[in-house]
Copies of this chain bind each other. A is one copy, B any other.
């Protein structure tokens, strides 16, 4: 297999993977491209490689910068912006978790908390109460583990993995 072919394959795979995880396919592809590129790339490079429009490229680059997965790099004497991907995988995973936790787990915790208000009143409806409590139990544990993860470095993570297995 050619190196270029392999890179292409990786970009496609990462795109598919991303879209399975609620991350827009193009955003994941831009991320993959910057991840495996040793040189900083500009918007036109990304547009050309992924065959996407300028608007699309811009949107997704911004999103990646928001997520802390890509940095802007200014070359002295050059007007256009270049971008580099965060290469530290542990950091990448951490950042993804920070964002997804905020967007997806925290609202659930909030709603579960609200739903507790009713529970007390009606003893009749055990099924409902039990489900809410179980989900809350689980998601609060997940919340804590993720927080720990977010604050930790890769050696902690390695240790945690080892302990679990």
Q: A-side interface residues toward B, CB under 8 Å? A: 1-3, 5-7, 9-10, 13, 16-17, 20-22, 35-38, 87, 89-90, 93, 103-104, 107-108, 111, 114-115, 117-119, 121-122, 125-128, 130-132, 134-135, 137-138, 141, 144-145, 148, 160-161, 163-165
CB of A126 within 8 A of CB of B38, answer: yes
Main secondary structure of the interface of A (DSSP, over half): helix
CB of B161 within 8 A of CB of A6, answer: no
- How many copies of the chain does the oligomer comprise? 2
Q: Which of B16, B103, B165 contacts A148 (CB 8 A)?
A: B165
Residues of B within 8 A of A161 (CB): 141, 144-145
Report the Cα distance A138→B10, complex, angstroms.
16
Residues of B within 8 A of A130 (CB): 87
Q: Which of B9, B13, B22, B164 contacts A163 (CB 8 A)?
A: B164
Report the Cα distance A144→B165, complex, angstroms.
7
